[in-house]
Structure 1
Amino acid sequence: MSDIGSEEMEEEQGPYLGEYEGGRNEREERHGHGKATLPNGDTYEGLYENGKRHGQGVYRFKNGARYIGEYAKNKKHGQGTFIYPDGSKYEGSWVEDQRCGFGKYYYVNNDTYEGEWANHVRHGQGCYTYAETGTKYVGTWVNGKRDGHGELIHTNHKYVGTFKEDRMDGKGKYVFDIGCEQHGEYIVTELNEDKAEEEEVQPIVIPKWKAGPVKAIQLKTEEEEEEEAAQAAAEAAAAEAAAAEVAEKERQLAEQQKAEEEAAKAPAGETSESAESTDKTEQGEDAEGKKSDDQVGGDEAQDAQDTKEEVPEDNEGQTAPEPPQEAE
């Protein structure tokens, strides 16, 4: 179903045909908010910029379709919703009038597709739900067809494997809810119908399942899942601690290099003066230390003499001083 319709007639026939109410710029082009009625009966109400639809707007087609969303230079571009005449609807991203990016399509038969688009078709990762059966396909799409890895999910089982040209092709497996799975492979065979030589023959392709052995599904217990989760958390914590340690070492190394660079940049004269000053200081300290030692020796001798002369008469009742407590 086309979603371009008569939208382009406005540009082809010129910006001044039909009816228009709204803002204009200094060149008399449609600019700002306005409402236009095209000669064919389509209408647009929204933002213009320099004569073109640009920004948020609503375009109503004469056939009943309508687009509500963003425009850029007269084209649907950005986020928007297109409602088609048959009742189907697309909500999502647009690029230059094409469904492109992430979006959801509601089909007239109630099927839905939610996923990636490119060039107006399903392309990338997406989920298609078949309303009649409830079956879902979750996987890769290429140019509107299932192609690549995917899962076809039914009520009580699912197929997991590869698809090609919208059909199952290659290795895969069926997984059943009763707790077993069957590995195998889809092999494509072609059936050619007898037709006249001048007619072009279109081969009928039928994928056939080559079944392998049925095996029980190895499900993990709750304890095993918890153990794996704990192990993953421990590994993540260890990795974080190692990263922090490396960062700290790098910081220390950077500080050391910075200090060495600053020391290397210091002038030679300052270094000599600093060394000379250090020597003088040390010599002064030695002289003072010698003088202090002589003074201490004299004081100790005087203390001994005083102690010998002042002997207490009674030592009873005195409490021995407690040893100093170690600093916590």
Structure 2
Amino acid sequence: MASQRSKRSRGGALVTGVLSIALVVAATGTAGADPAPDNPTSALEKLSDLSRKSEQTTEAMHNAQIDLDSKVAVQRDAEARHVADQGVLDAARAKVAQFQPAVDKLTAANYQGGRVNRLFAVMVSDSPQQLLDQMSALSVISADTAAQVGQFKEATDQAVAAEQASRESADAARSATEQAKSISDGLQRTQSDLQAQIAQVTQAFGALTNSERSSLSGSSFPPGVDAATILKSLVPGANNGAVQAAMTQIGKPYVWGATGPDGYDCSGLMVWAYKQIGKALPRSSQAQAASGIPVQKSELQPGDLVLFYSDASHVGMYVGNGNIVHASTFGVPVKVAPVDAYPFYGARRY
């Protein structure tokens, strides 16, 4: 387990370092833009494509972390169960050992032709009183022996069952450990992929002109919409607080793997906003798409999460009047945009 925690710690440090480098590179690019490309539209399309891939990788990374956390929990439970099973097995074996001498003695007596029945007592008795004494003793010995044999058998059965349980829990712990390691290795690879993609995105962003960057970031609201009108239009609802929280983050930068308060990725903004009203959301957009209550697009209410693209790799929060608030991509701050600006996947209510 210490090894797993170490790996996760190193993975977290890697992502943190990558994000810091990305922001520094982006800031440097803004200060001194490279010469304008021949085709500005092409440059923005290239950046959009690279950013889209990095967002998919980011959400895949979150999914892998969720999976790893789950497998590590299973591993801990399996290991604890194995320790408990081993304790039961040790106790059962000790109980078998307790009755083993008596059973061995009885077995040896039978093997050597020992007689313990009443007829044998009559044959060896010298007087009626001796006969009564011997028969009484034989009855006690028989009862004690029967009890010991019964207890020995019970202890043996318990030991066999405990050994089987211990073997199964040991196998489960070993399997859980192997699965956790495999997922951890995959998470490390995903983080490496994201590092490379971040470098490509920031390089492409650095090649944009100031005009192109302004075009990319756009305005914080669609035409005819502003924060005041959105907040005034909210009807009483359980998740209005999440909407209000998300709206306060408009203008914050998109940052890969971030959950605020200084920057966000798409699912990170949802996690932060709902945390403000005491609700815990899954970390990835795909996990958010798999939880909650399904909602039809025509029945959206403020606070509902809206998922986009065929792989549910992007998410925003519905704020009413056909709009969402979301952290869309690198170079674009948190903003409000139309629901129909992206391919709709589904919606969930929490």
Please tell me the TM-score bracket, short chain as reference.
Answer: under 0.3
Query: Which structure shows the bigger proportion of residues in strand conformation?
Result: 1
Compute the TM-score of the two structures, normalised by the length of structure 2. 0.18
Structure possessing the higher relative contact order (Cα contacts under 8 Å, 6 or more residues apart) = 2
Q: Which has the larger radius of gyration?
A: 1
Query: Which structure shows the bigger proportion of residues in helix conformation?
Result: 2
Compute the TM-score of the two structures, normalised by the length of structure 1. 0.19
